[in-house]
Amino acid sequence: MFSSTSTIRPEGGAPLVLTLGDPAGIGPEILVHAYAREPVLMHGTFVAGDPEVLRQAAAVLPGASAHRLPVAVLDAATQAWQVPPGCVPVLPVVRLGKPPVWGRVSASAGRAAGECVAWAARAALRGEVSAVVTAPLNKAALSAAGPPWGAFPGHTELLQSEAAAHAGLDVAQCPVRMMLANEELRTVLVSIHVSLRDAIEAVEFSRVLQTIEITHRALSVALGRAPRIAVAGLNPHAGEDGLFGTEEREIIAPAVREAQARGLQAEGPFPPDTVFMRARSTSDRPGAYDVVIAMYHDQGLIPVKYLGVEQGVNVTLGLPFVRTSPDHGTAFDIAGQGIADPSSLLAAVRMARRLSGC
Amino acid sequence: MFSSTSTIRPEGGAPLVLTLGDPAGIGPEILVHAYAREPVLMHGTFVAGDPEVLRQAAAVLPGASAHRLPVAVLDAATQAWQVPPGCVPVLPVVRLGKPPVWGRVSASAGRAAGECVAWAARAALRGEVSAVVTAPLNKAALSAAGPPWGAFPGHTELLQSEAAAHAGLDVAQCPVRMMLANEELRTVLVSIHVSLRDAIEAVEFSRVLQTIEITHRALSVALGRAPRIAVAGLNPHAGEDGLFGTEEREIIAPAVREAQARGLQAEGPFPPDTVFMRARSTSDRPGAYDVVIAMYHDQGLIPVKYLGVEQGVNVTLGLPFVRTSPDHGTAFDIAGQGIADPSSLLAAVRMARRLSGC
């Protein structure tokens, strides 16, 4: 397992913000559940959301203590530290008017969810919050919400757009990458939500090199040293000397050599079927690498999820602020039942604190 | 973990044959080590090989007992049951003349390795042996050996060719598939040693359906009931309704429906990043499926290998006899040092016994 460095948490510094997520999904109830289960970890954080939605979520949680958890309405982010543990601090950045129907896609829920994310991104860009943890969005609801929300396939693109606007740049000039991490393994993806055919086309020299560089920068901060980066091949056996594909020889190996020339601790390309096993850290044995660069979505996500998804955390690398999220969706099928597990959200908070030092 | 049914082993039935593997690799020493470590499991098996090579291998093993393990030379396969535990029974189907040099690629070693495999396949096709467990080949040595050995990229193609010749059919009429299995997970691959680009092209209706059918037939024998088969998608999120690729809608889903129409318990296509986790069997929780059909090499091999490769077994499905092998190569870098681990070979013997009931 990765050694967890003790968290330096400057009381009174910029707090950490959590977004509401889609109000009709499990977001609100896992947020309340997180405050009930781990009040010390959650101290110095707040939700950007709608107090009424969180009160409704508190009412469905099992157990008297969670059920009665008070919602503390803030006037400003800085008040987060003053809220005693055992409350749910909320900055009311949206008001839904009427409460959402659990599990129902709606434009108003999508719009509210989007507005909370945009607010959190801007607060982070202004330096008012130290990190952003996002509860799950529903893509259909975001799409139903119309402009500008409908244009974003998900969180990553919305956050990237806010960061680019803040810097006065095009979105293309603000490249980001998705990292998936649990207690044993970290993996950063060269591409995410595209077909496998398109993912092969996305394996380009500049894109692979950029992924290595973004990973190096982000993990150098998190680890306090240069990360040891393993780069996976694209083809079986990493192409077996060109026998099963040439991308390793023509694209990936040159990108790794260029990263090395720039002083980065990158190695590869390695056979994909064993590189994740070699990088895996357990209590018995530290992994041979701190992170694996995966050439496509499932190459990286299959090993991260293989041992169970409860502790998986999604991290966006390359933004000018720390952003993490749980590794699951809105789970409309169980929303409002009080049975959703807040473990991945809590892991996302822990990871955000570690990455931002807050 | 998969429940291991007690082995019915008819004393005096057709024995199980192990092939020598490349004499310059770790094959001979892991064979001798297997007989030393698990004499009861190995009773009723024999090696098709060269007695002198096995004597040389016995001499490099650590520990006095293994070192002195006698090699018993057989005249016929049926004598395997008469050899007492604590010997290495060998049917001398090849004679190298001079001993191999550990870790050195040579035509004579490649030829000897190939001849042992061909002998074992023919013995299985004649019904003289109940199952074949192959020790690792070296592809370069096989290639150096010239015709006919050089034409075979590996074991699978050689065995398939023997089976086709025996049946008087073309190789194309004897389709086989590779299954990788450990104590927690079984996966059968639609394609193996081709580039990822070519693997996408190999995802065809008839090939996917054939993979499901071959898997159903082989595992029905092994489990004594119809296996529950999960079929993975090709693209992230199994294409997310065509958003990230159309192979699921156009090829994989129709193949699954056709398999269902033929009475098979196949389901899918499922998102690749979670289907292996769902099928994983642990001591706490049985898997939701008996086997996962993977659309390409690394999709299936990454999860099977993630927890360590020692117990991985390679099984060829579709042959008219049972064939298993350890999930590693000749390891020329450590051959002759007596440190190679026989665990995967022993797991391959256990699996072959389970699949053949011998």
The whole-number mean pLDDT for each consecutive block of 10 residues of chain B, a chain of 358 residues, reads 49 88 97 94 96 94 74 95 92 91 95 97 97 95 92 91 96 94 94 95 98 95 93 95 93 98 98 96 93 98 85 91 92 93 94 84
Q: Which residue of A has its CA nearest to B234?
A: A196
Res A62: pLDDT = 83
What's the pLDDT score for residue A331? 93
What's the pLDDT score for residue B3? 52
Amino acid at B239: G
What is the Cα–Cα distance from A107 to A140, expressed in whole angstroms? 9
Long-range contacts of B76-83 (CB under 8 A, 24+ apart): B77/B14, B77/B15, B77/B17, B77/B46, B77/B123, B77/B128, B77/B129, B78/B12, B78/B15, B78/B128, B79/B46, B80/B15, B80/B44, B80/B45, B80/B46, B81/B11, B81/B12, B81/B15, B81/B43, B81/B44, B83/B43, B83/B46
Nearest-angstrom CA–CA distance, A212 and B283:
38
| Phi, psi (degrees; rounded to nearest 5) at B174 | -120, 70
ipTM reported for the complex, 2 dp: 0.87
**Distances, alpha carbon B345 to alpha carbons A217, B23, B26, B57, B109, in Å:** 44, 16, 11, 16, 20
Q: Which residues contact B221 (CB under 8 A, 6 or more apart)?
A: B355
Question: Residues in chain B whose beta carbon is closer than 8 A to a beta carbon of chain A?
Answer: 192-200, 234-237, 239-240, 243-246, 272-274, 276-277, 280, 296-299, 301-303, 305-309
pLDDT for res B355: 84
**Torsion angle defined by CA atoms of residues B191, B193, B197 and B202, in that order, rounded to the nearest 10 degrees:** -20
CB distance B280–A197 less than 8 Å? no
Helices A297-306 + B297-306 axis angle, to 10:
30
Q: How many CB atoms lie under 10 A from the CB of residue B179? A: 27
Q: What is the pLDDT of residue A8?
A: 42
Q: Among residues A322, A328, A331, which one has the least CA distance to residue A344?
A: A328
How far away is chain A from the Cα of B197, in angstroms, using its nearest Cα? 7
The neighbouring-strand residues paired with B61 are none
User: Across chain B, how many H-helices and E-strands are there?
Assistant: 14, 12
Per-residue buried b or exposed e for B231-262, using 16+ beta carbons within 10 Å of the residue's own CB = bbbbbbbbbbeeebbebbeebbbebbebbeee
Phi, psi of B84 (to 5 degrees): -70, 150
Q: In this complex, do A277 and B234 lie within 8 Å of one another by their Cβ atoms? A: no
Q: Comparing C-alpha atoms, which of A298, A1, A109 is closest to residue B240?
A: A298
Residue B176 φ then ψ, to 5°:
-125, 165
Interface test with B, best of A187, A193, A273 (most B CBs within 10 A): A273
Q: Which residue among B193, B234, B280 places its CB closest to the CB of A244?
A: B193
CA distance B195 to chain A (A): 4
**In 10 A of CB B37, how many CB atoms?**
18
- Substitution target in B285, B306, B307 with the highest count of A β-carbons within 10 Å is B306
Q: Which amino acid is at A32?
A: V
> Which residues in chain A are contacts of B200 at CB distance < 8 A?
196-197, 200
**A241: chain B residues, CB-CB within 8 Å:** none
> DSSP labels for A87-104?
SEEEEE----SSPPPTT-
Chain B residues in contact with A237 (beta carbon < 8 A): 193
Give the span between the Cα atoms of B330 and A338, in whole angstroms: 54
What's the pLDDT score for residue A135?
A: 97
CB atoms within 10 A of CB A216: 20
Q: In a 10 Å sphere around its CB, with 0-12 CB exposed, 13-18 middle and 19+ buried, how is residue A319 labelled?
A: buried
Of B193, B245, B296, the CB nearest to A195: B245
Question: Residues of A with CB below 8 A from B274's CB?
Answer: 305, 309
Q: Cα(first)–Cα(last) distance of chain B, in Å?
A: 22
Cα separation, A328 vs A135, in Å, equals 9
* pLDDT tens, chain A, 358 aa long: 565 443 445 566 899 999 999 999 999 999 999 999 999 999 999 999 999 999 999 999 887 555 678 999 999 999 999 998 889 999 999 999 888 899 999 999 999 999 999 999 999 999 999 999 999 999 899 999 999 999 898 899 999 999 999 999 999 999 999 999 998 999 999 998 899 999 999 999 999 999 999 999 999 988 889 999 999 999 999 998 888 999 999 999 999 999 999 999 999 999 999 999 999 999 889 999 999 999 999 999 999 999 876 678 999 999 999 999 998 889 999 999 999 999 999 999 999 998 887 7
Query: What pLDDT score does A64 carry?
Result: 58
pLDDT of residue A178: 95
How far is A226 from chain B, CA to nearest CA, in Å? 25
- For B84, the token pair is 């007492």
Dist CA B296 CA A277 (whole Å): 18
From A197, A240, A277, residue closest to B306, measured CB to CB: A277
pTM, 2 dp: 0.88
Q: List CB contacts (< 8 A) between B195 and chain A.
A: 235-236, 239, 244-246
Backbone φ and ψ of A44, nearest 5°? 85, 15
